[in-house]
Amino acid sequence: MSEHAVIAVEHLGKVYSGGFEALKDVSLDIRRGEIFALLGPNGAGKTTLISVICGLVNPTSGRVLVDGHDNVSDFRAARERIGLVPQELTNEAFVTVWDTVSFSRGLFGKPKDPAHIERVLRSLSLWEKRRNRLITLSGGMKRRVLIAKALAHEPEILFLDEPTAGVDVELRRDMWEVVRELRNSGVTIILTTHYIEEAEEMADRIGVIRRGELVLVEEKRALMRKLGRKELTLHLHSPLSDVPDTLAHHDLALADDGHALVYRYDASRTDADEDDDTANIAGLLADLEAAGIHFKDLHTRQSSLEEIFVSLVKERQ
């Protein structure tokens, strides 16, 4: 286990009783204080992995250490450090916000601490709703209550299993803000998502899981730098049938039935290299001029995590 790991996952395997292999030799260190996004399509094994880490599902092989505590042989010590916001909304209807959150704290054998419950409710904008029964709350408020319940026993690590699945865009942004504030208060966050945009927006690091295998773990920024490409698109006055030989040394492709030229260049550069990019683009424009190719306008874009993800998954198939 590296010294920064707040959770060490070592060679986890999970075969469900029917024989389905849901996790294959998964190893992963979670760093204290980070937001780690576990990204993968439905059925990839996200819920299984966090259920094993939280000690709710037994692994077939491997082990998990939470702050150095084995989550099977030292279950209580491991579990009390963890808060879990489950994927499914629960169906308690008639209890109040205050009671359900206080009850969650009691489950961990922690002494009553109304001041802590108040802090949690205020931080999630639930204070005004504390006397409301759950049935009277909107979907978004119910999700906040689930987070409050998970935080009631003061965990250092919070798992959010698909916190924004099926919620509208506005609520999703709201939830992202809540998660950021939690991280700023020192909580380590592990969230699962099948929304690439969510991982791109939130994560410090991203793990991609596919068919029970962790196929990639990387700093988000490094991932975007390493695999990202910048593109310059030139919309031409007259269409071309081929890229002229005099331009062959530039990385050019025709698009839009010959009406556009796309120039790709590496985004995996430091700022110091930007002068190089500028020089290369200036060279390209001069060569275009010399070849008598004129353009109406141009624009640049940088590839998104979505494109990176799609190309990665393709590469590995």
Ligand X SMILES: Nc1ncnc2c1ncn2[C@@H]1O[C@H](COP(=O)(O)OP(=O)(O)O)[C@@H](O)[C@H]1O
- Asked if 164 interacts with Mg ion (CB under 5 A), we say no
- Asked if 86 interacts with ligand X (CB under 6 A), we say no
Q: Which two three-digit tokens encode residue 292? A: 């008598």
- 154 burial class (0-12, 13-18, 19+ CB within 10 angstroms)? middle
SS3 breakdown of the chain: % helix, strand, coil, rounded to 5?
40, 30, 30
Asked if 243 contacts 253 with a C-beta cutoff of 8 angstroms, the reply is yes
**Residue selected from 1, 43, 75, 226 as contacting ligand X according to rule CB under 6 A:** 43
Residues with Cβ < 8 Å from 227, sequence gap 6 or more? Answer: 268, 303, 308, 311, 312
DSSP state of 307: H
**Residue selected from 9, 22, 65, 158 as contacting ligand X according to rule CB under 6 A:** 22
**Residue selected from 6, 28, 29, 46 as contacting ligand X according to rule CB under 6 A:** 46
CB under 5 to 8 A by kind: which of Mg ion, ligand X, none does 241 bind? none
d(CA 231, CA 239): 19
Say how many residues make up the chain.
317
- Asked if 71 interacts with Mg ion (CB under 5 A), we say no
Residues with Cβ < 8 Å from 68, sequence gap 6 or more? Answer: 1
CB of 45 to Mg ion, least distance (A): 8
Nearer to ligand X, 46 or 220 (CB): 46
CB under 5 to 8 A by kind: which of Mg ion, ligand X, none does 193 bind? none
CB of 209 to Mg ion, least distance (A): 10
DSSP assignment of 168-195 equals -HHHHHHHHHHHHHHHHTT-EEEEEES-
Asked if 182 contacts 148 with a C-beta cutoff of 8 angstroms, the reply is no
Partner residues linked to 31 by β-bridges: 5
- Asked if 103 interacts with ligand X (CB under 6 A), we say no
Nearer to ligand X, 37 or 121 (CB): 37
Judged by CB under 6 A, the number of residues near ligand X is 12
Question: Which of these ranges, 39-47, 273-281, 283-291, 292-300, lies near ligand X under the rule CB under 6 A?
Answer: 39-47
d(CA 23, CA 12): 7
Question: Which of these ranges, 35-43, 222-230, 247-255, 270-278, lies near ligand X under the rule CB under 6 A?
Answer: 35-43
Question: Which of these ranges, 1-9, 42-50, 66-74, 240-248, lies near ligand X under the rule CB under 6 A?
Answer: 42-50
Nearer to ligand X, 48 or 188 (CB): 48
**Residue selected from 1, 4, 11, 16 as contacting ligand X according to rule CB under 6 A:** 16
- Asked if 193 interacts with Mg ion (CB under 5 A), we say no
Sign of the C-alpha dihedral, residues 182, 9, 164, 128? negative
**Residue selected from 48, 100, 102, 193 as contacting ligand X according to rule CB under 6 A:** 48
Regarding beta strands 295-302 and 229-236, do their DSSP bridges make them parallel or antiparallel, or are they unpaired? antiparallel
Q: Could you say which residues in the range 23-62 bind Mg ion, by CB under 5 A?
A: 46-47
- Asked if 81 interacts with ligand X (CB under 6 A), we say no
CB under 5 to 8 A by kind: which of Mg ion, ligand X, none does 210 bind? none
Residues that bind Mg ion (CB under 5 A): 46-47
Interface contacts to ligand X, rule CB under 6 A: 16, 18, 20, 22, 40, 42-48
